[in-house]
Amino acid sequence: MQFIKELRDGEKISSIYLVKQKISATTKAGKAYDNVTLLDKTGEISAKVWEPNSPAIDEYEIKDYIEVTGEVTTFNSALQINIRRARKVSEGEYDPGDYLPKTPYDINTMYEELLGFVDSVGNPYLNKLLSVYYKEDQAFIERFKFSSAAKTMHHGFIGGLLQHTLGVVKLCDYLAANYEKLNRDLLITAAIMHDIGKVRELSPFPENDYTDEGNFIGHIVMGVEMVDDAVFGRNGKGGIEGFPRVLAEELKHCILSHHGEYEFGSPKKPSIIEAVALNCADNTDAKMEIFTELLESEGGKSGWFGYKKMLDSNTIATRTE
Amino acid sequence: MQFIKELRDGEKISSIYLVKQKISATTKAGKAYDNVTLLDKTGEISAKVWEPNSPAIDEYEIKDYIEVTGEVTTFNSALQINIRRARKVSEGEYDPGDYLPKTPYDINTMYEELLGFVDSVGNPYLNKLLSVYYKEDQAFIERFKFSSAAKTMHHGFIGGLLQHTLGVVKLCDYLAANYEKLNRDLLITAAIMHDIGKVRELSPFPENDYTDEGNFIGHIVMGVEMVDDAVFGRNGKGGIEGFPRVLAEELKHCILSHHGEYEFGSPKKPSIIEAVALNCADNTDAKMEIFTELLESEGGKSGWFGYKKMLDSNTIATRTE
Amino acid sequence: MQFIKELRDGEKISSIYLVKQKISATTKAGKAYDNVTLLDKTGEISAKVWEPNSPAIDEYEIKDYIEVTGEVTTFNSALQINIRRARKVSEGEYDPGDYLPKTPYDINTMYEELLGFVDSVGNPYLNKLLSVYYKEDQAFIERFKFSSAAKTMHHGFIGGLLQHTLGVVKLCDYLAANYEKLNRDLLITAAIMHDIGKVRELSPFPENDYTDEGNFIGHIVMGVEMVDDAVFGRNGKGGIEGFPRVLAEELKHCILSHHGEYEFGSPKKPSIIEAVALNCADNTDAKMEIFTELLESEGGKSGWFGYKKMLDSNTIATRTE
Amino acid sequence: MQFIKELRDGEKISSIYLVKQKISATTKAGKAYDNVTLLDKTGEISAKVWEPNSPAIDEYEIKDYIEVTGEVTTFNSALQINIRRARKVSEGEYDPGDYLPKTPYDINTMYEELLGFVDSVGNPYLNKLLSVYYKEDQAFIERFKFSSAAKTMHHGFIGGLLQHTLGVVKLCDYLAANYEKLNRDLLITAAIMHDIGKVRELSPFPENDYTDEGNFIGHIVMGVEMVDDAVFGRNGKGGIEGFPRVLAEELKHCILSHHGEYEFGSPKKPSIIEAVALNCADNTDAKMEIFTELLESEGGKSGWFGYKKMLDSNTIATRTE
Amino acid sequence: MQFIKELRDGEKISSIYLVKQKISATTKAGKAYDNVTLLDKTGEISAKVWEPNSPAIDEYEIKDYIEVTGEVTTFNSALQINIRRARKVSEGEYDPGDYLPKTPYDINTMYEELLGFVDSVGNPYLNKLLSVYYKEDQAFIERFKFSSAAKTMHHGFIGGLLQHTLGVVKLCDYLAANYEKLNRDLLITAAIMHDIGKVRELSPFPENDYTDEGNFIGHIVMGVEMVDDAVFGRNGKGGIEGFPRVLAEELKHCILSHHGEYEFGSPKKPSIIEAVALNCADNTDAKMEIFTELLESEGGKSGWFGYKKMLDSNTIATRTE
Amino acid sequence: MQFIKELRDGEKISSIYLVKQKISATTKAGKAYDNVTLLDKTGEISAKVWEPNSPAIDEYEIKDYIEVTGEVTTFNSALQINIRRARKVSEGEYDPGDYLPKTPYDINTMYEELLGFVDSVGNPYLNKLLSVYYKEDQAFIERFKFSSAAKTMHHGFIGGLLQHTLGVVKLCDYLAANYEKLNRDLLITAAIMHDIGKVRELSPFPENDYTDEGNFIGHIVMGVEMVDDAVFGRNGKGGIEGFPRVLAEELKHCILSHHGEYEFGSPKKPSIIEAVALNCADNTDAKMEIFTELLESEGGKSGWFGYKKMLDSNTIATRTE
């Protein structure tokens, strides 16, 4: 397979890619052609089909996998592919792992581990709230397991939301065991649900882009709405009888304040110790993953990586073994 | 009447005040006494009842009005009253306007004007949403009419929320008439509802302090929850059939972003022109009121008022007439 | 007409443009040629005249309109035109509105409306001050009516300064009618004059760039100098006998502080209520125009516009009608 | 002499002070008394004259020196003097240096040194401009020589403006001799005039407080107005024929930008090398004086002075000799 | 025992306190007296010995424990004790725990746990470096075990540095086990040594104040100097042969950057993943302790604690159990 | 000579350059070629040797000077040279001054002047400390004389560190003579040593890039380490007997705080007056040099240079002569 990141001007290609976008257009001379965006796990590339009605071009849609034959050219200082032949391929002809970025850990194993934490929450109201989403709502569960945690920051891959959530939950579990003022049930519940709004903030892969609601409301406030849905009954959920008012407020507060600072989009700063702990855990797991992804993307490089905005620092791989 | 702000050390008093707090305590020597906080519109003062069981001391509770006889002393560098006699008085013996700060405008007249704006909203979903609160929910209407808009900032008095809301709505009405890209229905609705969460963020007078929910969640996010309650049906509200998804998001976005900046507690920055307009109108009405209140509180003063934090400036009354 | 923004590499053109710059140069081989900048309302493009003395090339100067025949090429990753023929055209052959950006409103009508506000100022000193500029100084009036309000921000077109000034004045008129502490005469005068220094900060179209004085002093301080010129008599102005000292200081303070924050170039923060009101009105009109221009420039686009620096937000057109 | 800073509760006093303020008032019981503010170089103190019409109390006015007999008491947690006898004293009975803070250097000697720099400016326009103020305008010269440079920051004493100006000029003279790109005439002129507006920003001693104009306009913009007055002729000045436009703009720019940052009140950042040099010299002389004054005020103290806001640091005297 | 925090004006006392300071002075009338500062774990109080040579006053020095008989008065709005009798007491008459704040955990147990982590570091150079300080240098070990971690922030008590260090080390141990890119040896070593400079930045109890060196250099850079001392041999240490250059730089970098931000005194931002992890762990342990101390100091309080600067938030105890 | 900055696409060249980098590579087709970076004082350019084993290509290494024959082409929007012939040239065939940027002043003359300042320091400990480096350590002296003061900021050329150091020392000498509280010996020593760590922070020319140590530790902390080395004896230095503790701390503090602000990498803010003076002098010399370099690089340009990040301002050459 010829990965997109490695294509060079002038190269002939014959390789399978995932279709991310397909838009029909017309040249100034009135001739129909297709603008296509192709995707693999290494990046995206624009492509042109100049003869869309030719027999060499199969019917295909967005999210189809097609085998493309053509050549790489430069247009407006960027590479693009002129597609001469496009064949829609079948499952089995390609490895999905080559096309969409995915967590390196097993999704089902991670989800089982997360459910273990759900079961460990003894407070009946919190336990029920978690169950409503993580054990009873199959559509949500599917969405949660395959969602990314970001468009471009850390954990921006399939299963990323689950991996990040589990990382935060485990770190909170450590904190609850080591700092005695922490209420473990509240902290674990808040950790499991802290980014729950991301299942609606980002559209599923291969798009993985901000939804309207994501842009307008944001996952932090949507997380509060999702707590409300389950606690008070709405959107097909039945409500949880007797859920204590203060408990609901404390949980929603943890979600609202988990970014820790106003400038990171939290409308409240942490006011209870569990909110402080969640903010620390979220920040720690995020930074560990950011640096891990950086080390992988700069993998072969000896020497300094240069300034990296997400870490606000010039970075390098540790050389001591 | 001897207003609290004007009391001096050593003064004898005999005057009616509102009881804000009353806490029973015991001296080191084991004697019971009462710690009381008294209130009028000019301020608060601590008071002590050293003989709470004396016949000179009537039975009374928080929010009662009592006539206090005693003297002013200094304790820990602050004035307090030693209460010798306390008589619970009846309505009619005092003017409530002397005790709680109140808008200088007529509350019912302002509310009628606000209802005129409600009726002017032609979009049926927005009109219905406004009606659910401002025309149909009597408990909410009472709360809204008498709520303050702040604990210590601007409009911190009975009717302040209504006065500020009306000021913002009228300014938005002006903007909608003068800037053609603005959608008037959306803007007027957002203006009417922008601070709706304040009815739950602040407790009623005489307390007028942040509630738990106010501290944990804040009126901005509570405003979104109240839109959800009405639109999706919750908390005794029936829901509004067919309310367009995008419209709900745009409205909630206006509420979320109306403070304009992350550091002022908005988790989103304005993304649509109505959100920008609402932020400008809210800011303008707030600043006009802050300066108006400043001019009144510094009323008799010639010369510069000194640095005022809320305006981040040294200020003075305009002398040109 | 082939608008500059729509030109493509390789295209043949024959179209009329405005000459913004013309510089004679010599190739390494010693051959004379001309570097020309052409302009229409959609943008600018560099052009080369390789045979400047050919009979196919008319005599022309900066600010002339010429019909250009040639072709579009790419040089250093940017488009440019190779001019084969250049014909100086006459008025009537082109529509000036195609070349320079201009307010969509009628300039004379707006100016009449502004004069109505001038006449409404009852304070004789302020009225006289306004008249000195807006009614008696013909050169100033011409400059003011056709000046833009910015190089690249909002209202960056012919008549932009007038349109923005009128927008701010009308909003201040609204505020003066609704907030009783405001001194209308002072506020209206300050609004009319707040950006008066821009007639010297920016050179006239088609250049519309910062002058030396604009860069060195800035329109805010120049506005103060222009008040001084008229009040104290200077630069051909006679002075206004008896102009009250405090009134002059209050007016100059409003101009100095109208950006509201030090980091926006105001050396003083607003200290009187009219200065606060002017700052709010200026900010509101500017933001409404910025968003209006954004909606027009992104006109046909469905979906999010992406982060816009001037609004510090990701933006979108409102979809509710 | 009993210095004000050293007075203690209960002390009897009989000492000469300068009268800063005197306000007649009436007790609640209707008795006339005087509120007086007394001053010496160590500070201020409130005083009461309970029998203003007694023969023991001389006639006196603000800025008179009076010998006060009475005792020190505490009122509202602050010391004050009850004046039993007040005798207006004559020049010669006191040392003026005990009452108003003053530069430790000789004012006339410093002014002569400054005039030497004036004469060293060879550019005829700049030389004339300096002469108009520093050699020809006697009222200005008196004001300049005795003005302080600040209310509370550095050089807040009689002659402080002159001392600071001379310090900046000498440092600029050093820079002009060592950095060849600097235009000495422009830099020296800008240094001499950089704080000229302070003669109007602060009222004379003993008041030494911000004037209206100081608060509304500020010494930076007033400096520009004073350049304009002399260059263009205004306020009794005749104008300087042929003063080059660019030179005037460069000089005004140096004055406007000499604080170096918007947040310090400069509406422009330095754009020419002389403006950068002036900003560095002003900052350096100010910081040297701030630290010098700090060392003097903390004089006898061994150990750390604690955090000092003006230096944004915890400070200490250097121990190495 | 009568704790200092609970003393009241007018109270008679007879209680044992620790002498923190003792300064001989003379009244204006020429009479000798002593200014004394007394300490217990609840705070400090000034005291006066008016008859220092009386037989009722024992000889005593700073750090002695004395039984004080006298009464509490108010002077300059603060409480002080007039000491009539002072008796130097013997060990056994008092509980040292009543006088100096101390970690609630056992110091020796914590140190043993820390040594376990020292032994777990397999890299021979790092292991040797740790041993030089934590196993071989008895003076250092004593100092480290009893040092506080701060003057006023978190862990400001005897054993606080050890407790905080252990908290950070354990959290780093968790992180090293869960994030595979981390080099455990480097991270654990950096965690153990990250605040090592604090043994010299703060003087021992009861003073616990910044030393000269602490103020001038700071514990961050002093930590680097202490690494250098051991690695290169200095100050009585022998040096570690063959210590890899890069390893020393990585370790020193972790120490230098552990505050994470320039404004918190780190001259470098974290560049390697272990430095990022250490910064997260340090921040998390600090915040957990700050909130723990807050909950203890506000212990009995129901309701909101008000704004707390160290957490930059209004805070409250979690009510859910 | 054809300077790199002036090369154009398509040009034939035959000119001598310095080899900065040389990396052997292989085309996809398996053919060996060399990637070379060539340097002169005007910039760098990439070059390709497609026939590295041809007899037309001499043997050469990094830091050799070679005469290159070939042509300039464009690759990935940047110019590069295709090298057809490469001849290694001998000293004498080129002027080294054409290849590496160098101070315009004579290095040995400047160093003599610096030694004069070393000798003027009377304090024996400081004098000895300076001698250890500046008079006795030949390797250091060579490094110091030829080091640049920056990679990209000011003084980024051979001899730049020496020129900047001398500029700061001379300015400090001026300050010590004019502000009496300054300890000249301490200030001059701190000035001479303030950037001493730069000899290790940056690698020598032609590389002149940050070293590992420079990135990890930074020249500020390395300066402290170098003081320690000499004072306490380490790294082949003998130590200075009896060096006063406080003096060492004051000197190290001056070095640590000389950037003046945390965000510029100083872990401490200036606490003594010499540290404040050094910060001012360093800042002033740096800004004078930045503007001087700017004027030279923009030399022929009339008009505004546009925004310059290092001066945070739009800049222009002064026109007044």
| DSSP per-residue string spanning C49-107 | ES-TTSTTB----TT-EEEEEEEEEEETTEEEEEEEEEEEPPTTSS-GGGTS-B-SS-H
What distance in Å separates residue A231's CA from the closest CA in chain B? 11
> A74 — contact with chain C (CB < 8 Å)?
no
What distance in Å separates residue B145's CA from the closest CA in chain E? 27
At E235 the pLDDT is: 65
Q: C121 pLDDT band (50/70/90 cuts)?
A: very high
Nearest to E137 by CA among E247, E251, E248, E230: E230
The label of the residue with tokens 């009614």 reads C135
**C244: which chain B residues are within 8 Å (Cβ-Cβ)?**
320
Both tokens of residue D99? 């009452």
* DSSP 8-state symbol, E267: S
Residues contacting residue A200 through CB under 8 Å, at least 6 positions apart: A211, A213, A214, A219, A222
SS3 percent helix, strand, coil of chain D, rounded to 5, is 40, 20, 40
Q: D300 pLDDT band (50/70/90 cuts)?
A: low
Query: CB of C52 within 8 A of CB of C33?
Result: yes
> C304 — contact with chain A (CB < 8 Å)?
yes
At F236 the pLDDT is: 67
At D298 the pLDDT is: 84
At A273 the pLDDT is: 97
Q: Nearest chain F residue to A319 by CA: give it.
A: F212
Q: C69 pLDDT band (50/70/90 cuts)?
A: very high
At D113 the pLDDT is: 98
> C246 — contact with chain D (CB < 8 Å)?
yes
Query: For residue E130, is pLDDT > 90?
Result: yes
> E24 — contact with chain D (CB < 8 Å)?
no
Query: CB of D173 within 8 A of CB of D190?
Result: no
Radius of gyration of chain C (CA): 23
What distance in Å separates residue B66's CA from the closest CA in chain E? 27
Tens of pLDDT, residues A155-189: 889 999 999 999 999 999 999 999 999 999 999 99
**B321: which chain C residues are within 8 Å (Cβ-Cβ)?**
183
Query: For residue D227, is pLDDT > 90?
Result: yes
Is there an interface between B and F (3+ Cβ pairs < 8 A)?
no
Mean model confidence pLDDT for chain F: 92
Query: For residue F235, is pLDDT > 70?
Result: no
**E283: which chain A residues are within 8 Å (Cβ-Cβ)?**
280
Both tokens of residue F177? 């003579």
At A202 the pLDDT is: 94
> C274 — contact with chain B (CB < 8 Å)?
yes
> B235 — contact with chain A (CB < 8 Å)?
yes
Neighbours of B179 (CB within 10 A): 21
Do C215 and F77 make contact, defined as CB atoms within 8 angstroms? Answer: no
Q: B272 pLDDT band (50/70/90 cuts)?
A: very high
> Which residue among D170, D180, D295 places its CB closest to the CB of F178?
D170
Q: E216 pLDDT band (50/70/90 cuts)?
A: very high
- Of the two residues C205 and D313, the one the predictor is more confident about is D313
Query: For residue A152, is pLDDT > 80?
Result: no
Do F247 and D320 make contact, defined as CB atoms within 8 angstroms? Answer: yes
> B14 — contact with chain E (CB < 8 Å)?
no
Query: For residue B236, is pLDDT > 90?
Result: no
Do D314 and E77 make contact, defined as CB atoms within 8 angstroms? Answer: no
What is the rounded CA–CA span in Å between residue F277 and residue F191?
10
Interface of A with E in 173-202 (CB under 8 A): 174-175, 178-183, 185-186
What distance in Å separates residue B147's CA from the closest CA in chain C? 21
Work out the average pLDDT over C290-317. 89
Tens of pLDDT, residues C6-22: 898 889 999 999 998 88
The β-bridge relationship of strands A65-75 and A12-26 is: antiparallel
> B100 — contact with chain D (CB < 8 Å)?
no
Neighbours of chain C (3+ CB pairs under 8 A): A, B, D, F
Nearest to E206 by CA among E6, E1, E44: E44
Cis amide bond preceding F104, omega within 30:
no
> C210 — contact with chain F (CB < 8 Å)?
yes
Do E314 and B215 make contact, defined as CB atoms within 8 angstroms? Answer: yes
Tens of pLDDT, residues A269-292: 999 999 999 999 999 999 999 999
Do C216 and D271 make contact, defined as CB atoms within 8 angstroms? Answer: yes
Do D268 and C217 make contact, defined as CB atoms within 8 angstroms? Answer: yes
> D217 — contact with chain F (CB < 8 Å)?
no
Dihedral of the alpha carbons of F95, F99, F100, F102, in degrees to the nearest 10: 40
What distance in Å separates residue F2's CA from the closest CA in chain D? 29
- Of the two residues D2 and E289, the one the predictor is more confident about is E289
Q: Give, in degrees to the nearest 5, the angle at Cα F260 between F254 and F266.
A: 75
Sign (positive or negative) of CA dihedral B296, B299, B302, B307: negative
Q: E99 pLDDT band (50/70/90 cuts)?
A: confident
* DSSP 8-state symbol, C272: S
Mean model confidence pLDDT for chain B: 92
Tens of pLDDT, residues A88-99: 998 889 887 788
Nearest to C201 by CA among C216, C215, C187, C214: C214
> Which residue among F178, F314, F318 places its CB closest to the CB of D250?
F318
**F28: which chain A residues are within 8 Å (Cβ-Cβ)?**
8
> B304 — contact with chain D (CB < 8 Å)?
yes
3-state secondary structure of C143: helix
Do A277 and E292 make contact, defined as CB atoms within 8 angstroms? Answer: no
Tens of pLDDT, residues C86-105: 999 988 898 877 888 889 99
- Of the two residues D316 and F206, the one the predictor is more confident about is D316
Q: Nearest chain B residue to C275 by CA: give it.
A: B318
Do E183 and A318 make contact, defined as CB atoms within 8 angstroms? Answer: yes
Do B314 and D77 make contact, defined as CB atoms within 8 angstroms? Answer: no
> A306 — contact with chain E (CB < 8 Å)?
no
Q: E104 pLDDT band (50/70/90 cuts)?
A: very high
What is the rounded CA–CA span in Å between residue F263 and residue F265?
5
Do D215 and B77 make contact, defined as CB atoms within 8 angstroms? Answer: no
Q: E76 pLDDT band (50/70/90 cuts)?
A: confident
> F316 — contact with chain C (CB < 8 Å)?
yes
Tens of pLDDT, residues D125-162: 999 999 999 999 999 999 999 999 988 778 889 999 99
Q: F124 pLDDT band (50/70/90 cuts)?
A: very high
At F297 the pLDDT is: 84
At C123 the pLDDT is: 97
**E277: which chain A residues are within 8 Å (Cβ-Cβ)?**
284, 287-288
Q: Where are the beta strands (DSSP E) in chain D?
A: 12-26, 32-40, 43-49, 65-75, 78-88, 306-308, 313-315
Neighbours of F139 (CB within 10 A): 9
At A63 the pLDDT is: 85
What is the rounded CA–CA span in Å between residue E160 and residue E168?
12
Say if residue A51 is exposed, middle or buried (CB neighbours under 10 Å; 0-12, 13-18, 19+): middle
Residues contacting residue E165 through CB under 8 Å, at least 6 positions apart: E114, E149, E191, E192, E194, E195
Tens of pLDDT, residues F44-83: 899 999 999 889 998 898 889 999 999 999 887 788 999 9
> D250 — contact with chain C (CB < 8 Å)?
yes
Is there an interface between F and E (3+ Cβ pairs < 8 A)?
yes
What distance in Å separates residue B72's CA from the closest CA in chain D? 14
What is the rounded CA–CA span in Å between residue B140 and residue C116?
46
Do A215 and C316 make contact, defined as CB atoms within 8 angstroms? Answer: yes
Residues contacting residue D181 through CB under 8 Å, at least 6 positions apart: D273, F288, F291, F292, F295
Q: What values do phi and psi take at E147, rounded to 5?
A: -75, 150
Query: For residue E223, is pLDDT > 90?
Result: yes
**F77: which chain C residues are within 8 Å (Cβ-Cβ)?**
77
Neighbours of E48 (CB within 10 A): 17
What is the rounded CA–CA span in Å between residue D197 and residue C318?
51
Query: For residue E122, is pLDDT > 70?
Result: yes
**D314: which chain E residues are within 8 Å (Cβ-Cβ)?**
215
Query: In angstroms, what CA-CA distances link B178 with B117, C170, C174?
Result: 17, 9, 11
Tens of pLDDT, residues D234-271: 766 778 999 999 999 999 999 999 999 999 999 999 99
Interface mutation target, options B211, B221, B256, chain A, most CBs of A under 10 Å? B221
Task: Provide the residue type at A189 as one letter.
Answer: T
Q: Nearest chain C residue to D239 by CA: give it.
A: C234
Query: CB of B164 within 8 A of CB of B149?
Result: yes
> E152 — contact with chain A (CB < 8 Å)?
no
What distance in Å separates residue E292's CA from the closest CA in chain A? 7
Neighbours of chain B (3+ CB pairs under 8 A): A, C, D, E
Query: For residue A76, is pLDDT > 80?
Result: no
> Which residue among E178, E272, E287 places its CB closest to the CB of A318?
E272
Nearest to C248 by CA among C266, C267, C223, C265: C223
**A215: which chain C residues are within 8 Å (Cβ-Cβ)?**
304, 314, 316
To the nearest whole percent, how much of chain F has pLDDT over 90?
A: 70
Query: CB of D58 within 8 A of CB of D45?
Result: no
3-state secondary structure of B299: coil
Nearest to E112 by CA among E135, E140, E95, E89: E135
